[in-house]
Amino acid sequence: MKIHKGSALLRNATVICGLLLARALPAQTFTTLHSFLGGTEGAGPSGLILSSDILFGTTTANTSSNASWDAGTIFSTSIDGSGFTNLHSFAAFTDNDPADGTGPRAPLLLSGDTLYGTTLSGGSSSNGIVFSVSSHGTGFTILHSFTAAGNLTPTNSDGIYPRSGLVLSGDTLFGTAELGGGFGKGTIFSLKTDGSAFTVLHTFDNVDGNGPVGGLILSDHTLFGAAGGGGPSGAGTIFSINTNGTGFTNLHSFSGRPDGHSPNGRLILSDGILYGTTGAGGASNSNSGTVFSIRNDGTGFTTLHSFTPNSNGGITIANVDGAWPFAGLVLCGDTLYGTAHAGGPSRSGTVFGLKTNGSDFTVLHGFTNSDGVGPNSDLILLGSTLYGTTDGGGSGYGTIFAVSLAPELTVTPSRSSVVLTWPTNFTGYALQSTANLISPVWTTNFPTPVVFNGLVTVTNPISGTQQFFRLSQ
């Protein structure tokens, strides 16, 4: 019997003596889609969302020369980087004019033709707003302005500084405020999409966490999130709460080492498991952050990866894998993708991938300043392409980038057959085979692929001449 092989050269899946070796995938292509120029374009892009082939995002500032405080913008662009459009410029903040919000630092939320978002400050009391605007840039509306708070003790009724994004259930928006509330440690809130029925669902008291800046995710009637600080060790917490405000539960309190410190990114949930990052902490010799997993009932916490040391006396230096993964993750198949804000070969941050079991950590791209510095926001995935932003670099004011991924061809022996699979989100690929790698003649493999259990699948009999396989586009 001949053993069929999928060469490591050809999409990194190899069968050797009946054993499958699978490795994280390298990046196929890195592209800088847009370099921000400041001014009316904005500066410091802070996150993207996708609708069809249009990306929407915000910038935290605009470097306008006549502004006493940079206010930021809302923009759109095609996924190929063309058609960049400034949809809304936030009015400059001054002491006498709190304007319409300043510093949007979270990804937008799109429902129908309406974008929803938050600003860190501005509004009637300079403590931030929740807003809506059409995807064409018209109809900007302040849905809620967070109320005034004391200077020395930043407490109020509703919260201060809504740094994170929003989630939507029906006609109700849910979000978090970094500070404020009765204890000054932040709040979880809800309001209707028309701005009515604002409700504080939970006020943090530091024992259960403080500074919930990572945003919320929604599963059925349960919200999950992370607080960047607080808890018994002051290193942050993971929590859940019902959408009606009941049942608040502390799922995990971070200790700093080895599980991490400061979980400031948005969580993701898949098959009952939450995945996330911490911006600091980790293994005993590192303070560069972690990637972790935990079941949604709070059990089974696992540190999947601790980033290697990268600082000396507070000065960031180069390392292999990156440091300070402030943003959340995105999942494709059994691979998690994310960004590290700093570190990497050029100290400017990395895009990385690793398996959900923590194996096969791979740096997909190391930023070099010319293509961006400091990726700080969640990646989004369309088909086989990741999209993201950097705080700086490029022309000096940040970038939008794309990373095209090569699909992983998994080869699994099954009795008298070999089963070849790859994810369905990689379109336009054909399975090819050859019997000779020295001077190969690649031909289309038969039978025709079918979709089974969410994977493109081809089953070949193990007979005849040894075959090598690849995916070709």
Would you list the domain boundaries of the chain?
A: 13-23+415-472, 27-405
Report pLDDT for 151: 79
Report pLDDT for 100: 82
How do the pLDDT tens digits run along the chain, 473 residues long? Answer: 232 333 322 222 222 212 222 334 444 689 999 999 988 889 999 889 999 999 999 999 875 444 444 689 999 999 999 999 999 998 765 545 556 888 899 999 999 999 999 999 889 898 999 999 999 999 999 999 999 988 777 899 999 999 999 999 999 999 999 999 999 999 999 999 999 999 999 999 999 999 999 999 999 999 999 999 999 999 999 999 999 999 999 999 999 999 999 999 999 999 999 999 999 999 977 899 999 999 999 999 999 999 999 877 666 778 999 999 999 999 988 899 999 999 999 999 999 999 999 999 999 999 999 999 999 999 999 988 999 999 999 999 999 999 998 887 888 888 888 898 988 877 788 899 888 888 889 998 888 899 988 889 999 888 777 888 888 87
CA 339 – CA 265 distance, rounded (Å): 11
Angle (nearest 5°) at CA 34 between 77 and 405: 90
CA 241 – CA 222 distance, rounded (Å): 6
Nearest to 365 by CA among 30, 57, 126: 30
Q: Which two tokens stand for residue 322?
A: 């990156």
Decide if 126 contacts 109 (C-beta within 8 A).
no
Report pLDDT for 177: 98
CA 221 – CA 172 distance, rounded (Å): 12
Nearest to 264 by CA among 326, 208, 210: 326
The superfamily in CATH containing domain 27-405 is TolB, C-terminal domain (2.120.10.30)
Nearest to 273 by CA among 203, 350, 219, 209: 219
Pairing of strands 199-203, 187-192: antiparallel
Report pLDDT for 28: 65
Q: pLDDT by residue (tens digit) across 180-197?
A: 999 999 999 999 999 999
CA distances (Å), origin 421, targets 319, 382, 401, 457:
34, 20, 29, 5
Report pLDDT for 63: 58
Report pLDDT for 417: 87
CA distances (Å), origin 48, targets 125, 310, 378, 401:
27, 28, 8, 11
